[in-house]
Structure 1
Amino acid sequence: MSLTTHTTVTETAIPEISFEPLGARLTGAVHTPDDPRYDELVSPWNLAVPVRPAAVVDARTADDVVEAVRFARAHGLTTGVQATGHGAIPGIAGHLLVATKALDEVTVHPEGWARVGAGAKWLPVIEAAAPYGLAPLNGSSSDVGIVGYTTGGGVGPMARTYGIAADRVRAFDVVTGDGMLRRATPTEHPDLFFALRGGKGNVGIVTAVEFDLIHQPSFYGGAIYFDGVDAARVIDRWRDWSEALPEQATTSFVLFQLPPLPEIPPPLAGKMTLGVRFLWTGEPEEGARLLNELRAVAPVILDDAALKPYTAVDSVHADPVDPMPVIDPAILLSDFPAEAAEMLLAVAGYGSGSPQVMIEVRQLGGAYAREPEHPNAFDHRDAKFSLLVVGMAPDPRSAPHADLVFAAMADWDNGRVWPNFGPAHDARSARRAYDEATLQRFAEINRRYDPDGVLNIGRYTRELVR
């Protein structure tokens, strides 16, 4: 079965229901498809994913989320949640979508922790923490929502040094399917605390999260780029080089085919290139020395690596910000030996005819692989690499070619995927995102806190375990 196709899920038709009584109880508002703000609130970042619920709640407070869930429960509806719209999947909305983007509180405490609302993105936290020499374990793009990223695990550009974002969480405020607002910590509702760190929206709608920051005022890193014709020898060296790196380094490589647009740097536009991403948390001189070992392999056509303030962390991955229609499947790898690199390049490297915009391989291990102080639902610690393929959805070649890429990697595919790169939307994707023990725990927690099955995403794990 293809890894790139999604089960087509449309929001189930419902009897005629007036949402006016719900709107009267909200600080925010409820919008139906004929309202001007409906499209703005339901549209996800990935424009290729249709999201068309019967109505959407523009939540302005945690109580608004409570009211929405209670209304859905009383009328036999399902609910979904969306903040920034990253990670959208078919059917995510249910009948009643709760938009949490307006819950954008950001409070940074100089002693080393932060509290943010469900609609907050990483950039305000990065900027607010910087004056204290602090930084969050943000994602590769600071434009991504904090809650969605963190509840999916959160594997960022410092993962080998400091682990994943979910491991740094102190507490969640969460509305469960029974319509109750609860606080989940290691000692208060520890079952929810387990499931929310890695479980995405399986067991509740998060309204706020508190997490630890790290002391990291600056870093050495960015990306260095090579012509695609040199990809084979650079990747061959990267494999041995990255294996020897200490945990102060987190690295990946990416095969780019960027369009010839004015905003694309000329050395990268309109051709295949190879980028090596690198973030070093130790002494900058040592980071530069290590990256020089790769600079010596082939001519560098663009060099963006330098000592930088942490506020420049987006330069490492340089992810796109504007919404676009993409196909972006991923898998996790148990290894990436020379044979795997050769097979990847044969199907997606220079001269292969690959239609993909980018193909990324991230090295894992280090702090990523260690179990956290408090166990959580992110059960992917033994993966050694991740593989992400991104193509444009309008291109009919993208999805079939992505399947060819994954077929070439089949011997090293460990059968799993990060919840952020492959959210559970049917039985197969749920079993890729979580092991059986974790799915069992999700089902038990859902039955306890969501007895009527109001949470739309929770039904995928509930139905797997009877």
Structure 2
Amino acid sequence: MTELSMRPATAATEPVTTETTSAQEIADLRRAVSGPVWDPGDVDVVTELAGFNLAPSHEPVAVVAATSAADVAATVRWARVRGIGVGVVATGHADFSHRGVVVISTKRLDRCQVDAAERTVTVGAGVKWARVLEAAAPHGLSAVTGSSSDVGVVGFTTGGGIGPLVRRFGYGCDRVRRMQVVTGDGQVREVSPTQDAELFNAVLGGKDAAGIVVEMTVELVEMTRFYGGSIFFDGADASAVMHAWRTWQLGLTENTTTSIAILRMPDMEAAPPPLRGRTVVQVRVAHLGPEIEGLEVVSPMRRVATPIVDMVAEMPAGAIDAVHCDPTEPMLAWATGAFVDTVDDDTIDALLAAAGPQHELPVIMVELRAIGGAGMRGTAGCLPRAPYLMGVIAPMVPPLVDVVPAVGHGIVDALAPWSPGTVPVNFASPQTIAARPGACWTAEERARLTEVSRRVDPDGVLGGRRLGLR
């Protein structure tokens, strides 16, 4: 048994068929593509499908390491003829498992080309945000990234793209100008707001339900520096800090994006010594403006309680990871979340009652992000929008496989009175989707996405089934 198959399962991509794929069929696949192809018993499968999240347990019928859009299209056609589903893996941050399907790895699609005159970057599906930030910086440009620059551009953006600067720059999907997409019928299509706009919007928010993005051109933003980072307070101050944050963030302009989280820090060397083994409250802030202005903006939160660690300072644009301080080493992780319409004192009290420091919970982080502003005005993509977002991240270690989803969903349920009932697709756990198919979209968005998915993927070989749309 390989290391990969021994990892705890979360949920599987449901195959169209469970028939055994023959050696001859795998040989046919090898002849159809230029990149490497491995069968399930090949040791290289473990390395190829390994990513940041170590929790998924993959059992593919074959793995294709695509080197071009043609490889992706040929693999989809091969799968479609045989009634086999198709899964996609890039940087491996998701917690979905792929079983009984052919898995396409897009890691080798690594084009990253900045057009400074047009203020755009064109990237392949294997490119992470860190590479984009590095390439854009010499031109005085930056990008609408996620909370971690280790995340892939395509995966982040097709899930909507909610980052540390969302109130100023909007969702990541609002910055997409064009995409090259392979659809479930095996065609390579160019899409944009003016070229098959229905498919364009279905992919942005629908992940791989309607197509596999192999290349994307994204608008960059003018930014060289920002004032931001994290302030950590002791868990004993959680109520005071969280209620103060709620009031403070209401008065901020769109130049400031902020969030707050309860963190249960592990007693490990990876955690900073002052925080190690403690439950803390983390205030995150990213302000676009001069340092002297940022100091004034953040000062009310610095006076609420005595910080354990204060890491907020002026930073270069490429240091955007310092806002959330996400883990940098691979881990067994599980995540869920929900959009939130309103955050008042009762909302904060409900969150503290469900997940406050007084509880011993198998949860790493529970957060609230203020994501309104420009994020609410965007129109691209097939996804809901709301002024707030809550997220839950937990360790998916073997003893907790059955416990973590119940605890995580219980915390989300505590905020149900203030939630529209939808969750960003990048925050939707396999268990969330299984329990609430279509929770990632409104009824209208779900219907529109399903219609497009059926048009371009008539046999349902792509991710629509995994996402509860087929």
TM-score (norm 1): 0.93
Q: Which of the numbers 97, 100, 103 marks the counterpart of 1:97?
A: 103
> What is the distance in 1 between the residues matched to 2:406 and 2:231?
30
Letter matched to residue 253 of structure 1 = I
**RMSD of aligned C-alpha atoms?**
1.9
Work out whether 1:48 is the aligned partner of 2:55.
yes
Superposition deviation, residue 49 in structure 1? 2.1
Letter matched to residue 291 of structure 1 = V
Contact 2:53 2:95 in 1 (8 A): yes
**Alignment partner, residue 109 of structure 1:** 115
Letter matched to residue 401 of structure 1 = V
**Alignment partner, residue 15 of structure 1:** 20
**Alignment partner, residue 439 of structure 1:** 446
> What is the distance in 2 between the residues matched to 1:339 and 1:83?
40
**Alignment partner, residue 406 of structure 1:** 412
Superposed CA offset, 1:26-81 (max 9, x none): 22111111112111223343222222111110111111111101111122211111
Share of identical aligned residues, percent?
Answer: 37
> What is the distance in 2 between the residues matched to 1:453 and 1:288?
53
Matched ranges for 1:168-183 at <5 A: 168-183=175-190
Superposition deviation, residue 462 in structure 1? 4.9
**Alignment partner, residue 291 of structure 2:** 284
> What is the distance in 2 between the residues matched to 1:15 and 1:271?
50
> What is the distance in 2 between the residues matched to 1:105 and 1:119?
8
Matched ranges for 1:50-449 at <5 A: 50-91=57-98, 95-111=101-117, 112-372=119-379, 375-378=380-383, 380-381=384-385, 383-394=386-397, 395-396=399-400, 397-422=403-428, 426=433, 428-449=435-456
Letter matched to residue 104 of structure 2 = V
After superposition, the Cα gap between the structure-2 partners of 1:446 and 1:130, relative to the gap in structure 1 and judged at 3 Å, is same
After superposition, the Cα gap between the structure-2 partners of 1:176 and 1:384, relative to the gap in structure 1 and judged at 3 Å, is same
> What is the distance in 1 between the residues matched to 2:229 and 2:43?
41
> What is the distance in 2 between the residues matched to 1:210 and 1:456?
22
Secondary structure class of the residue paired with 1:23: helix
Superposition deviation, residue 440 in structure 1? 1.6
Superposition deviation, residue 459 in structure 1? 6.9
Letter matched to residue 36 of structure 2 = A
Contact 1:33 1:39 in 2 (8 A): no
Secondary structure class of the residue paired with 1:210: strand
Structure 2: where are the runs of 5+ without partners? Answer: 1-8
Superposition deviation, residue 411 in structure 1? 1.5
Secondary structure class of the residue paired with 1:174: strand
Superposition deviation, residue 401 in structure 1? 2.5
Matched ranges for 1:25-44 at <5 A: 25-44=32-51
> What is the distance in 2 between the residues matched to 1:239 and 1:274?
13
**Alignment partner, residue 5 of structure 2:** none
Contact 2:437 2:469 in 1 (8 A): no
Letter matched to residue 99 of structure 1 = S
After superposition, the Cα gap between the structure-2 partners of 1:429 and 1:126, relative to the gap in structure 1 and judged at 3 Å, is farther
Superposition deviation, residue 359 in structure 1? 1.0
Contact 1:65 1:98 in 2 (8 A): yes
> What is the distance in 1 between the residues matched to 2:351 and 2:458?
46
> What is the distance in 1 between the residues matched to 2:413 and 2:459?
40
Contact 1:442 1:461 in 2 (8 A): no
> What is the distance in 2 between the residues matched to 1:423 and 1:355?
16
Contact 2:115 2:121 in 1 (8 A): yes
Structure 1: where are the runs of 5+ without partners? Answer: none
> What is the distance in 2 between the residues matched to 1:85 and 1:253?
26
> What is the distance in 1 between the residues matched to 2:430 and 2:280?
33
Superposed CA offset, 1:411-445 (max 9, x none): 11220100111167856544210112222222221
